[in-house]
Chains A and B, each alone.
Chain A
Amino acid sequence: MKIIAKDREGKPTAIEGRAGWTIMELLRDAGLPITAECGGACACATCHIYVEDGWFEKLPPRSAAETDMLDMALAVQPNSRLSCQLTCSEELDGITVTLAPE
Chain B
Amino acid sequence: MPSFETDVAIVGAGPTGLFAVFELGLLDLKAHLVDILDRPGGQCTELYPEKPIYDIPGLPVVTGQQLVDRLMEQIKPFGATFHCGEMASGLKRQPDGRWKLSTDAGTEIVAHVVVIAAGGGSFMPKRPPIHGIEAYEGKSVHYAVRKMEMFRDRRVLIAGGGDSALDWTLNLAPIAKTLTLVHHRDGFRANQHSVGRMRELAAAGTIQFHVASVKALHGAGGQLTGVTLLGHDKREWRIETDALLPFFGLTMKLGPIAHFGINLHENLIPVDTARFETETPGIFGIGDIITYPGKLKLILSGFHEAALMAQAAFHVCRPNEKLRFQYTTSSSSLQKKLGVAS
A55 to chain B, nearest CB (A): 18
Q: How distant is the Cα of A41 from the Cα of B54 in the complex, in angstroms?
A: 13
A76 to chain B, nearest CB (A): 4
Give the interface size class of chain B: 20 to 34
Q: Are B47 and A37 in contact (CB under 8 A)?
A: yes
Assuming the A-B contacts A35-B251, A41-B47, A41-B48, are A72 and B162 also in contact, with contact meaning beta carbons closer than 8 angstroms in the complex? yes
Task: Determine the chain B residues whose CB is within 8 A of the CB of A43 once the complex forms.
Answer: 47-48, 51
Q: How distant is the Cα of A44 from the Cα of B250 in the complex, in angstroms?
A: 8
Q: Are B248 and A74 in contact (CB under 8 A)?
A: yes
B161 within 8 A of A: yes
Q: Are A41 and B161 in contact (CB under 8 A)?
A: no
Q: Are A101 and B129 in contact (CB under 8 A)?
A: yes
CB under 8 Å from chain A, chain B span 253-279? none
A64 to chain B, nearest CB (A): 9
Majority DSSP secondary structure for residues of B touching A: loop
Task: Determine the chain B residues whose CB is within 8 A of the CB of A77 once the complex forms.
Answer: 232
Q: Are B129 and A75 in contact (CB under 8 A)?
A: yes
Q: Are B47 and A73 in contact (CB under 8 A)?
A: no
B126 within 8 A of A: yes
Q: Are B43 and A74 in contact (CB under 8 A)?
A: no
Q: How distant is the Cα of A7 from the Cα of B125 in the complex, in angstroms?
A: 23
**Chain A residue, CB-CB nearest to B119:** A37
Q: Are B213 and A71 in contact (CB under 8 A)?
A: no
B32 to chain A, nearest CB (A): 26
B120 within 8 A of A: yes
Cross-chain pairs A/B with CB under 8 angstroms, 6 sampled: A44-B251, A45-B248, A67-B185, A71-B184, A72-B126, A73-B248
- Interface residues, chain A, with chain B CB atoms under 8 Å away: 35, 37-38, 41, 43-46, 67-78, 101-102
Enumerate the 5 nearest inter-chain pairs by beta-carbon distance, A residue then B residue, closest first: A68-B189, A101-B129, A71-B161, A72-B249, A76-B184
